[in-house]
Structure 1
Amino acid sequence: MEAAGDAVFCLDDRGRILYVSQRALEFVGTGVSIVGWFLSELAPLSDRLIISLAITQALESGRSGKINTRINTRKSSMWFELQLTNYVTPEGTTALLVVGRDISVQQDTEERLRHMATHDALTGLPNRSLLSDRLQMAIAQAKRTGRGFSVLALDLDRFKKVNDALGHLVGDTLLRVAGERLRETLRNVDTLARVGGDEFVAVLPGAVSEAEIQTVARRMIANMQVPFEIQGHTLYVGASIGAATYPDHGDDDVKLLSHADTAMCHAKETGKARCVVYNPQKFNQQEYDVSMEAAMFDAVRNGEFFLHYQPIVDAVTCQVLGFEALMRWMRPELGPVPPSQFIPMAESNGLINLLGAWALRSACMQIKRFQEVAGRPLYVSVNVSPRQFRNDQFLGVMDNALSMSGLVGSELLLEITEGILMSDPEHAEAMLNQISSRGVKIAIDDFGTGYSSLAYLKRFPISTLKIDRAFVQDLPESVKDAAICNVVLSLASHLNLSTVAEGVENAAQLEFLARQGCTLIQGYFTGRPMLPEAAITLLQTAAVPAPSLAKRVLAP
């Protein structure tokens, strides 16, 4: 026993120490003899009952036992693994041999691993995993007590700028200090977690009114606005906060975190350094947009997009000269999605490049079939978004569409907005010159509703102006709209540009525009957007407004 590297104790049938090895004495370091002590007296008060029960059980059962407990040493309380084994003394009584092995290092390692699994390595705050557990506990407690709680999502303002300019070491120090400051503003019962980057989440039990939430939020924001002195730099950041409450804004941890994060993003977008409480009526549209965007990616794979074709007719003879290709989306079981919803979304998420390429290719191939049915030339007008126009691959996409369809360049009209020209004039000029060199024509869509800079009419190779429906719908009664249309038509005539009036819905509008020199007409009066089969029928039957209309237009 003395040669063993472990601590060895011999106990009587009551748990008193009969013998203790020198190694055990070194560990305990009491400076006095411990023979006659109960073994449990060497442990902290919280562990004494565990040791006493283990001794009793081992003696009564006659089986060996093992427990992990702490033993008070001269420096601190160390973890030991105690192996209890029955034996019979020379006097014939039952006793215990207890071998204690120091497992403090092992216990410390396990504790560190447990802490690392549930806490952020940089700030020492709970991480997303522990936050989820705390939220579930808060929900369970709220169900028992009937008292709700709030979740605050906080994001540091201007942190990325600091991190990019001064490096990660300064950024990491800033995050640690920010975590300490935020922790100081909260109660002991509150939870503060770092969930990634410069994002923190606080859980406030019992705080559900907006006044309570705003009080805590103002304290946190004020603490973040105090300058940070880090590695010789004086740094100014701030914080934007979004809040959601249980159960009003979510009945599980995922919804609460999502809604708090949505409110926080709104706080950043509307001025920063403020707290926004989630409002279902206000933010449901954002959730709808997210689900709509996901559905859009599925729709591309499932072929839910298609093209309608709206006739463009001669303003005098009403003969169909071309069609504008208009993209449509039909969601299964939900019906059509307005282009005003999905086109801006496709522009923002990058899908417009894929959709635009498909639309351009499909429209060119379809107009070729229309030409075969009509037995005469027809052109197709296709809208080009800003993102498409700036894409380096656009010219290749256009060339491919013309090549595959067999159209010549003059049978394709690309519609662009004024904003494309003005946002980067040098790039626009280079692109338009290359497009024009292929014979493709260029139209300015919704002319008069954007920048309306006359300089680009001289600088860029533009062939057509499209008069927006906003200036057509009140013709001919509106004096102001009539004046605007007259000016545009006169300008186009002097610059030798074609004109297309959009949104023509009755004969009076058509007659007015034709008399003022408008070249082409597009609108419900001469044809709604239609599927290719309907367009073919239109071409075969020449089902356009009666020829008498042309006679009235041409009459003196």
Structure 2
Amino acid sequence: MEAAGDAVFRLNAEGIVLYASRRAAEMTGGLDLTGRPLGLLVELADRPKVDSLIAQATASSEPSKSNVRIQTASGVIWVELQVSSFISPGGDTELMAVGRDISTQQATEERLRHMATHDALTGLPNRSLLSDRIRMAIAQARRTGRGFVVLALDLDGFKKVNDALGHPVGDALLRVAAMRLTETMRNVDTLARVGGDEFVAVLPGAVSEAEIQIIARRMISTMQLPFEIQGHTLYVGTSIGAAIFPEHGDSEVKLLAHADTAMYRAKETGKARCVVYNHQKFTAPEHDVSMEAAMFQGVRDGEFLMHYQPIVDARTRQIVGFEALMRWVRAGQGMVSPAQFIPMAESNGLINLLGAWALKAACVQVRRFEEAAGRPLYISVNVSPRQFRNDQFIDILDEAMRLSGLAGQQLLLEITEGILMSDPEHAESVLHAMASRDVRIAIDDFGTGYSSLAYLKRFPIATLKIDRAFIKDLPTSVKDAAICNVVLSLASHLNLTTVAEGVENEAQLNFLAAQGCGMIQGYLTGRPLMPEDAMELLKSGQPMALDAVAMK
């Protein structure tokens, strides 16, 4: 026993040490356990294991073993402890415990386990461990009745850094970004890297939308600070999407998908912001194969049509133009919400075909409206991100103007702030090409996205469309009134025209007119109309679309 390479202990049936070998003394740093329980050798948390080994060995002739931790002078080591019983020469039951140092083996296994569940670059949990954490959070939420939140994060501008400076700089940036994000989170939260510059966070506990925004702002703020990487000063941000259990999904797949959908909405509407998933607004029709097939069939069968909503001068109350809005009447099912089919068309590329058709149809139609009204009118058409990025977009614009004979000033093309942010250089090139044709450019839903004033200086913007979110509580809301006043004053000083969306009553109209708003649209001036109804309205000569025709 003295010559053995492993530590050897002789115990009585109660686990009291009768003898310890030389190697045992070395392993314990000279600690003399003679006459004391063997359990004192190991860490407090592992003592029940020793008691169990002794009880099993006493009750059975088979040896029992377990891995335990021992505190030594140089730190904690892992030991495989095996206990077996034997009959002493005096006829008593005694025990022999053999301890083998397995620290190196344990460290290797721990490294392998860590590698299997963690990202090699950042050290964060990987997709596998994230999946386990989400399943655990779901189980806990069902037991306690308290929900949790899944955040999907994507770095804004990372691809440009990676392409321009190379992967070593990109990898270093990801490591620093991971550390910054981790510092904003609690110990109970999980932050995982799921690929590229994509991260997912799991926040246990019932979290309100207000709390989500506070957490997200903390993340966004820390990511907006400059990164000093290998001699380069870099700026990236993060866009965040949030999904709440169980409101937005009762499974791992649904929560991740919906958080991802919300994150892409955050990117589209300005970046550097957090968007919480909404079932009504954020449908995921691109995953509905049957609807997608029906959409292609609908294009072939002519199921898509255009409606036109009147745009009225806020002072004279005369119709000055229309906004063209696409509609889909699906065979056998009736009207399909644009919130369903527009994202699907954007995803599968059909938006290029539909958008080109809508632009040409709207330009031709406004000329017919002019004939009915006997005076010039303008048409406003929405341009989707995918349309705008299409290399043939300017050619399509030229063809629409040529076919209709429409002057550039009579065409207003609406774009979102997200289009400007995604690729400013490309956006500037396309916008100036549009402006060279005298086509006017509007920023849609101004104030709800990034709202950078630099846009108004850099790009040839002609019109600001004030989002309905700032109109619906006018004139009683002091904050909405203040926001509208600021936007209208800004537009006036920059010589930009303004259109207020979602105007539904006279009080809103009177307030906006008094503050200098140029034009309005909404249910007060008329719902979106079929072309023939819009023609009838124009022929009636009504200064304001308040009659039965307008309210169809």
* Mapping for residues 385-404 of structure 1, pairs under 5 Å: none
Q: 1:259-270 maps to which residues of 2 (within 5 A)?
A: 259-270=258-269
The residue correspondences of 1:4-403 to structure 2 (distance < 5 A) are 4-30=4-30, 32-284=31-283, 287-288=284-285, 290-292=286-288, 296=292, 349=348
* Distance (whole Å) between structure 1 residues aligned to residue 393 and residue 138 of structure 2: 54
Residue 304 of structure 1, CA deviation:
10
Residues 444-490 of structure 1 show CA distances to partners (whole Å, capped at 9, x for unaligned) of 7666498999xxxxxxxxxxxxxxx9799959x9799xxxxxxxxxx
Contact 1:293–1:345 (Cα < 8 Å) also in 2? no
Specify every segment of 5 or more residues in structure 1 that has no aligned partner in the other structure, as ranges: 309-328, 354-386, 392-416, 429-442, 454-468, 481-556
User: Contact between 1:418 and 1:447, CA under 8 Å: does it hold in 2?
Assistant: no
1:109 partner letter: T
CA RMSD of aligned residues (A): 4.4
Task: Map Cα deviations across residues 11-40 of structure 1 (whole Å, 9 max, x no partner).
Answer: 22222223322222222222x543333221
1:350 Cα deviation (Å)? 6.1
The amino acid that maps onto 1:203 is: V
Structure 2 distance, partners of 1:68, 1:88, is 25
Give the length in aligned residue pairs: 367
Q: Rate the CA distance shift 1:33–1:135 in 2: closer, same or farther, 3 A.
A: closer
Hey, what's the Cα distance between the residues in 2 that align with 1:91 and 1:474?
A: 115
Shift of 1:268: 0.8
Shift in alpha-carbon separation, 1:446–1:307, aligned structure 2, 3 A: farther
Corresponding residue number in structure 1 for 2:368: none
Distance of aligned partners of 1:118 and 1:451 in 2 relative to their CA distance in 1, 3 Å threshold = farther
Whichever of the two has the greater Rg, that structure is 1
**Residue in structure 2 matched with residue 541 of structure 1 by the alignment:** none
CA distance in structure 2 between the partners assigned to 1:103 and 1:50 by the alignment = 17
Q: 1:347 to 1:142 in 2, by over 3 A?
A: closer
Deviations 1:416-462 (A, max 9, x none): x9943678xxxx9xxxxxxxxxxxxxx97666498999xxxxxxxxx
Contact 1:87-1:94 at 8 Å conserved across structures: yes
* C-alpha distance 17-270 of structure 1, shift in aligned 2 (>3 A): same
Query: In the alignment, is residue 420 of structure 1 matched against residue 395 of structure 2?
Result: yes
Secondary structure of the corresponding residue to residue 282 of structure 1: coil
Return the alpha-carbon distance in structure 2 between the equivalents of residues 180 and 193 of structure 1: 11
Displacement of 1:266 after TM fit? Answer: 0.9
Aligned counterparts of 1:336 and 1:263: Cα–Cα separation in 2: 25
* CA distance in structure 2 between the aligned counterparts of 1:134 and 1:338, rounded to whole angstroms: 36
* Contact 1:151 1:201 (8 Å CA) reproduced: yes
Q: SS state of the match for residue 281, structure 1?
A: coil
Secondary structure of the residue aligned to 1:14 is coil
**Shift of residue 88, structure 1, vs aligned partner:** 2.1
Aligned mates of 2:294, 2:17 — CA distance in 1: 75
CA distance in 2, matches of 1:140, 1:74: 42
Q: Distance in 1 between matches of 2:61 and 2:277?
A: 64
Structure 1 length-normalised TM: 0.56
Aligned-partner Cα distance in 2 for 1:248–1:77: 46
User: Kindly tell me: are residues 349 and 250 of structure 1, through their superposed partners in 2, closer, same or farther at Cα, counting changes over 3 Å?
Assistant: closer
- What SS class does the counterpart of residue 202 from structure 2 fall into? strand
1:15 maps to amino acid: G
Work out whether residues 305 and 330 of structure 1, in 8 Å CA contact, stay in contact via their aligned partners in 2: no
Aligned pair in 2 of structure 1 residues 138, 23: CA closer, same or farther (>3 Å)? Answer: same
SS in 1 for 2:193: strand
SS of the residue aligned with 1:248?
coil
CA distance in 1, matches of 2:88, 2:347: 85
Q: In the aligned structure 2, how far is the partner of 1:338 from the partner of 1:146? A: 34
AA at the equivalent of 1:291: H
Change (3 A) 1:335 1:450: farther
Q: Distance in 2 between matches of 1:126 and 1:114?
A: 11
Structure 1's 333 and 140: CA in aligned 2 closer, same or farther, altered over 3 A? Answer: farther
- CA gap 1:335/1:113 in 2 versus in 1, 3 angstroms: farther
Q: Secondary structure at the match of 1:98?
A: strand
Q: Deviations along 1:39-74, whole A, 9 cap, x unmatched? A: 211111111121122112212323322222122223
CA deviation map 1:365-390 (0-9, x unaligned): xxxxxxxxxxxxxxxxxxxxxx9xxx
The runs of at least 4 consecutive aligned structure 1 residues that moved more than 4 Å come to: 292-300, 303-308, 329-339, 341-348, 350-353, 443-453, 469-475, 477-480
C-alpha distance in structure 1 between counterparts of 2:226 and 2:334, whole Å: 54
> What CA distance in whole angstroms lies between the structure 2 residues aligned with 1:21 and 1:55?
19
Q: How does 1:441-460 map to 2 (within 5 A)?
A: 448=406
| Shift of residue 112, structure 1, vs aligned partner | 2.0
Q: What is residue 384 of structure 1 aligned with on the other side?
A: none
In structure 2, relative to structure 1, the CA distance for the partners of 1:283 and 1:92 (3 Å cut) is same
Give the deviation of 1:346 after TM superposition.
7.1
Shift of 1:338: 12
TM-score by length of 2: 0.56
Aligned twin of 2:456 = none
**Distance in 1 (alpha carbons) for counterparts of 2:342 and 2:219:** 40
The separation in 2 between residues aligned to 1:346 and 1:208, in whole angstroms, is: 34
Residue 238 of structure 2 aligns to a residue in which SS? strand
Question: Taking structure 1 as reference, are residues 451 and 472 closer, same or farther at Cα in structure 2, changes over 3 Å only?
Answer: farther
Residue 280 of structure 2 aligns to a residue in which SS? helix
Measured against aligned partners, the alpha-carbon deviations of 1:291-332 in whole angstroms (never above 9, x if no partner) come to: 3567647999xx999779xxxxxxxxxxxxxxxxxxxx9999
| Distance of 2:234 and 2:299 partners within structure 1 | 50
Q: CA deviation at 1:92?
A: 2.3
Q: Following TM superposition, by how much is the alpha carbon of 1:109 offset from its aligned partner in structure 2, in angstroms?
A: 2.0
